[in-house]
Amino acid sequence: MIIGTPGSFDVQVTATPTAPGNFANPRGGGVCAADPDGWIAESNKQNNNCSDAVNVIAADLRLTQVISGGVSGGFANAGSNVIYLITVTNNGPNSASNVVVADNLPANITFVSCTPSVGTCSGGASVIANLGSLANGAQATVTIVVKVESIS
């Protein structure tokens, strides 16, 4: 194309975000980023401007909870302690910061203790574990001990 001659051209831009979040394309001139479904087209070709938004995933956290002690045959006896383990795994792609696990205890359960592999933990009617930051691929656990009360 010769400068000054009417026509059109395509511009392809590749951007690699360095932090999670929502990003809007701040550029003018009809330059838009690609979305997963294809190219975003400029709707008003007279203003040479378009915009799009890209959502970058911060971290994919997976939580599992298993009973690890105090149960026999699938049942817990009234007055006995039950131990369960919560595991949080960061499946990436980025690190996760300020990771907090909250577990609300049922009415017939009394909090006894909690021990996190990292961070701090406190309990009452709810157990709150502040695990801090988890890198991509990292795990943290919270061991919770509760007492089973009689069911009336």
Nearest-angstrom CA–CA distance, 85 and 89:
13
For the chain, domain boundaries: 1-56, 59-148
| Residue 38: pLDDT over 90 | no
The residue assigned the tokens 């699938």 is 74
131-150 per-position pLDDT tens digit: 999 999 999 999 999 999 98
| Residue 25: pLDDT over 90 | no
Kindly report the average pLDDT of the chain as a whole number. Answer: 78
- pLDDT, mean of residues 4-28: 56
Radius of gyration of the chain (CA): 26
Answer for the pair 130, 53: CB distance below 8 angstroms, yes or no: no
pLDDT tier, 63 (very low <50, low <70, confident <90, very high otherwise): very high
CATH number of 59-148: 2.60.40.1170
| Percentage with pLDDT > 90 across the chain | 45
What pTM was computed for the model? 0.64
| Residue 84: pLDDT over 50 | yes
More confident call, 129 vs 70: 129
Burial 86-101 (b: 16+ CB within 10 A, else e): bebbbebebbbeebeb
